[in-house]
């Protein structure tokens, strides 16, 4: 199972992306656990996950987010603006798989 956490400003704008990623995973036969959370809850939601993906609107937190993820041994990346804007669940799932090595 691939455990992915999506973080954005309030955890709401990534909910559609979360759904599209689940659909893409189902089409590919990949078991996933994907949850969108507000970025201010990031430190409480890193244990036991495979990858953290952040919405482009919270890029101002890059240094702080990187430090938290590094401390938990979790790979982290910002979701590309194009994929975020077009809600491309397949591309974002591919990014998560690439980062996690799964």
Catalytically annotated residues = 8
Evaluate whether 45 touches 37 at the Cβ level (below 8 Å): yes
Element housing 85 (H / E):
helix 81-85
From CA 65, how far away is CA 43, in angstroms rounded? 9
Of the candidates 34, 76, 31, 32, the one whose C-alpha atom is nearest the C-alpha of residue 58 is: 76
């Amino acid at each position: 199972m691939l455990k992915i956490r999506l973080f954005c400003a309030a955890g709401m704008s990534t909910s559609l992306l979360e759904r599209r990623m689940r659909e893409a995973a189902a089409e590919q036969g990949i078991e996933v656990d994907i949850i969108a959370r507000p970025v201010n809850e990031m430190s409480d939601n890193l244990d036991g996950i495979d990858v953290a993906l952040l919405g482009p609107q919270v890029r101002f937190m890059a240094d702080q987010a990187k430090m938290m993820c590094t401390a938990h041994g979790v790979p982290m990346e910002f979701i590309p603006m194009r994929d975020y804007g077009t809600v491309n669940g397949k591309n974002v799932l591919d990014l998560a798989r690439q980062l996690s090595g799964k």
